[in-house]
Structure 1
């Protein structure tokens, strides 16, 4: 009986460490979350022939739409560049990370169409439980109005695989 209890205690102690690196999460699936952003965007200066270019950083918090799970209650950061012009429309691109309460992160590159307030995130790397992650998914935002002082929400999803 003592051996059984001792075996159980050892199993419990070490089973947590088996999943501490996050490999207990599904190897594939879709993560759906909302990020509340604050975007610090300096005023855009008009350029020649109707073009303008701008850059800035957004900081935010992530919330899984299920109220728990991957990317719930984490931090996020994006650096973006946007160009608007008669021959190029209104596009943006940049890089982001999205994290969770454990501090593990998914790093992405993104492209978007500002006139549609949406685009695609492509996973470029992950840390912790997200190490080895690949995939992509859409994002769409409700860009801020004047009274929002740079704050807005984006709905995002990533269909992923961890190798």
Structure 2
């Protein structure tokens, strides 16, 4: 099994034209402010983003691209646990490396600060990626929702 902290890939083909596929998804998804759990999200042009809860913004997510296919519509992308959190942590790594470099080069870094930063990124980082990999299948119901809606 491959290490997949950024979720698993999915691809769904449908015989519906692209406009009808988008309309079907919009009509069956839950309203963003509805208190019940269910697939909710947005479609902006060719992009789709779905998640479960109105209150839990760190839960399973699905990001994808809707495109026309010879036979109808194809939706492909990634689904996983807390995709936005893992992406933000990944983007923070080079930023923090630059900040640490600047702190050291200007003589502003203390040993305690470097130890804390090191612990956060050297211990916390692998834990974040491992947790996202372990819980990636939590987004499977979102993929099933799309398959059922586009069938």
Which TM-score applies when normalising by structure 2? 0.29
Q: TM-score, normalised by structure 1?
A: 0.27
Which structure's residues are more often helix, by fraction?
2
Higher strand share: 1
Q: Which has the higher contact order (CA 8 A, sep 6+)?
A: 2
